[in-house]
Structure 1
Amino acid sequence: MKVPSLHWGIIAPGGIASSFTEAVQSHTAQRIVAVASRDLGRARSFASRFDIPHAYGSYDDLLGDSRVEVVYVASPHSEHLTHALNAIEAGKHVLLEKAFTRNAEEAARLIAAARQRGVFLMEAMWTRFLPHIDVVRQVLGSGALGEIRTVVADHGQYMVPDATHRLYAPALAGGALLDLGVYPVSFASLVLGEFATVSAVGTPAFTGVDGQVSIVATNAAGAHALLNTTLFARTPTTASITGTRARLELDGDFYAPTPVRLIGRDNEVLDVYTPPRPDGGLCFEAAEVARCVAEGRTESALMPLDETLRIMRTLDEIRRTVGNRFPGE
């Protein structure tokens, strides 16, 4: 089936929206026709930069544009519920940046609203749609690793301490976990399925948000996930999946296009997959939205809404364990 060229609108033209727009325009047939910001000048600047025909100083104005079929929401986590819910109620399909919402309660509200309205909704966990992750799925499905015993993944970035930065701002649902830690948690969920147990330790940042978190999770089969995230240092951002017969190693950054190695029990390299293109990885999630919409589906089998909700519940439990609550929760 030919992937249709959907007409996209962008809500909140920040850094990730810039990367998304560049990838979509460079590597897909999708068309971005509108952008909205609370600051009209910012919207116009973004539109000019990417040759987008319509700029709005109000999100409601963008949602009222009949030319917009699907909305990409790139605002801070604290605004995800409101922005995505308004888009759903306007009858728009929605691609919502990860982490999906502040908490599982908000995620459940969005999922219920999308299902009732009959529109497409998906978490923008772009890693799920990359070619090297498809290789991971194929290897897991083949049984080549044997019985999976351990998943290890980390994602740490050095973020300069700045109370005005969104990752240090409690009111914007900042912290390492929702922005960075969601990657290793989602990766472990992909490999192990639903977690049976979750435990964590954390160290707060100077503003009170979670600055560093280490997680141990298990599934019903007793496999372990060892996961770490931090705002305090740049970590290797690698991942591995170890089974009784072999293991997979993903180079850093594991969540972006990167080589994957199949390694035997004797540490011999059995196979190596190198992705064909390291740039523009955000284009794959946009193509997945278009494919699903073309097929009349309201969610993706590669990032199902029920799994997104389970992941949000896991993140809630981790935050509860380390003592991190956001204002208004």
Structure 2
Amino acid sequence: MTELRWGLLAAGTIAAHFAAGVEESKHGVLTAVAARSADRARDFAARFEIPKAYGSYEDLLADPDVDAVYVSTPHAMHKEWAIAAAEAGKHVLCEKPLTVTAAEAEEVIGAAREHDVFLMEAFMYRLHPQTRRLVELIASGAIGEVRAVDTTFSFDSNPEETARLGDPALGGGGILDVGCYCTSLARLVAQAATGQDAVEPVEVSGMAKLSRTGVDEYATGLLRLPGDILATISCGIRLAREDGIRVFGTQGQLHVPRPAWIHPLRTPGTSQIILTPSSGEPKVIEVEATQGVFAREADHVAAHVDDRQAPELTWAETLANMRTLDRWREAVGYGRPS
């Protein structure tokens, strides 16, 4: 497995989580960080003992000591800097969603292919042992044939503190910020149930409460997936709801009360999947994670960097999810102010 020297493009909260993950990883080292403010970059570098701090993204991309770049800018800037990183010959791990639209994602993937670099969308929950165990249970027929899946990721935020979430120019709204996890999970369930890769919904519909700027404050989508699996997906940035996953089959159901994307499960520890057979008592399946999810993510990139794609998050998988998000946002009237 290759040791990767990481450069961080942006120095926000999620970059701090990833930096801590690289410190915990087995095959990564923090080499540089860049921010729009040189002072902010230096403060971040001091916090994580990163050798180099840059006041511009361009300077970091020109650093020959950086092998791979983690892009955690606002959504609307992902395309620009993921492409710039690829053009600089850097491997790319880009925060979800990869871009704002599927068309933009195709451009980023084209740049990675042209410049022969690794590219992965940072859906870290897909690498968590809990998610992998859920897939195994579904694929093994533990609940019979899958018929439906419900999943929610929703929170309430202060508009003044999270202005980017309300700005359509920055890709604001719940669907892109957290609804992308719900589309990814629903599609993953269908993939495990049908044995197909990178599945897409046959039908997509939805409703949302739109803000005055036209972004979705909270939304619900309905997907008809291959195998006639129906998925109800809900998200929000201005409404606290109970997060969770439920998968319903002909012989029982699976319940994940605390999905792997929530903050407490980002560190090592135990999580649960509850299996309830059609006739029988619920069984609690405990899943142990011995490594933090961001450390796991950094090591996953290192393990597959020579393949240019990660097997669990291929480019086809990213495009299928982005096209689903496009259809959901269109269905709810994203961009049309309330």
Q: CA deviation at 1:207?
A: 3.0
The match for 1:211 among 193, 213, 217 is 217
Alignment identity in percent?
37
Tell me how far apart the structure 1 counterparts of residues 33 and 49 of structure 2 sit (CA, whole Å). 11
Amino acid at match of 1:54: K
The match for 1:307 among 305, 314, 317 is 317
Q: Are the aligned partners of 1:197 and 1:218 in contact in 2 as well (CA < 8 Å)? A: yes
Amino acid at match of 1:73: V
Distance verdict in 2 for CA 1:276–1:85, change over 3 Å: closer
The secondary structure found in structure 2 opposite 1:194 is coil
Q: Are the aligned partners of 1:154 and 1:227 in contact in 2 as well (CA < 8 Å)? A: yes
Q: CA deviation at 1:206?
A: 3.5
Q: CA deviation at 1:142?
A: 1.3
Distance verdict in 2 for CA 1:254–1:268, change over 3 Å: farther
Count of aligned positions: 321
Amino acid at match of 1:313: R
Which residue in 2 is equivalent to 1:287? 299
The secondary structure found in structure 2 opposite 1:195 is coil
The secondary structure found in structure 2 opposite 1:228 is strand
Distance verdict in 2 for CA 1:30–1:144, change over 3 Å: same
Amino acid at match of 2:49: D
Q: Are the aligned partners of 1:198 and 1:317 in contact in 2 as well (CA < 8 Å)? A: yes
Distance verdict in 2 for CA 1:254–1:286, change over 3 Å: closer
The match for 2:91 among 87, 90, 93 is 93
Map residues 265-284 of structure 1 onto 2, 5 A cutoff: 265-266=278-279, 268-277=281-290, 280-284=292-296
Tell me how far apart the structure 2 counterparts of residues 233 and 147 of structure 1 sit (CA, whole Å). 33
Q: CA deviation at 1:16?
A: 0.3
CA deviations 1:38-61 (Å, max 9, x no partner) are: 211111110001000001111111
The match for 1:58 among 52, 56, 59 is 56
Q: CA deviation at 1:246?
A: 2.3
The match for 1:133 among 131, 154, 163 is 131
Distance verdict in 2 for CA 1:101–1:255, change over 3 Å: same
Q: Are the aligned partners of 1:236 and 1:252 in contact in 2 as well (CA < 8 Å)? A: no
Tell me how far apart the structure 1 counterparts of residues 141 and 121 of structure 2 sit (CA, whole Å). 28
The secondary structure found in structure 1 opposite 2:292 is coil
Question: RMSD of aligned C-alpha atoms?
Answer: 1.6
The question of 1:244 aligning with 2:256 is answered no
The match for 2:206 among 197, 200, 204 is 200
The secondary structure found in structure 2 opposite 1:184 is helix
Tell me how far apart the structure 1 counterparts of residues 159 and 33 of structure 2 sit (CA, whole Å). 30
Q: CA deviation at 1:157?
A: 0.6
More off after superposition, 149-158 vs 268-277: 268-277
For normalisation by structure 1, the TM-score amounts to 0.93
Gap regions ≥5 residues in structure 1: none
Q: Are the aligned partners of 1:122 and 1:305 in contact in 2 as well (CA < 8 Å)? A: yes
Tell me how far apart the structure 2 counterparts of residues 30 and 163 of structure 1 sit (CA, whole Å). 32
Which residue in 2 is equivalent to 1:260? 273
Gap regions ≥5 residues in structure 2: 191-198, 266-270
Which residue in 1 is equivalent to 2:196? none
Tell me how far apart the structure 1 counterparts of residues 48 and 207 of structure 2 sit (CA, whole Å). 43
Q: Are the aligned partners of 2:130 and 2:260 in contact in 1 as well (CA < 8 Å)? A: no
Tell me how far apart the structure 2 counterparts of residues 182 and 266 of structure 1 sit (CA, whole Å). 34
Tell me how far apart the structure 1 counterparts of residues 234 and 120 of structure 2 sit (CA, whole Å). 25
CA deviations 1:232-263 (Å, max 9, x no partner) are: 22211100111112222111244243311222
CA deviations 1:56-84 (Å, max 9, x no partner) are: 11111111111100000000001000000
The secondary structure found in structure 1 opposite 2:224 is strand
The question of 1:22 aligning with 2:32 is answered no
Q: Are the aligned partners of 2:27 and 2:302 in contact in 1 as well (CA < 8 Å)? A: no
Amino acid at match of 2:276: I
Which residue in 1 is equivalent to 2:32? 34
The question of 1:325 aligning with 2:335 is answered yes
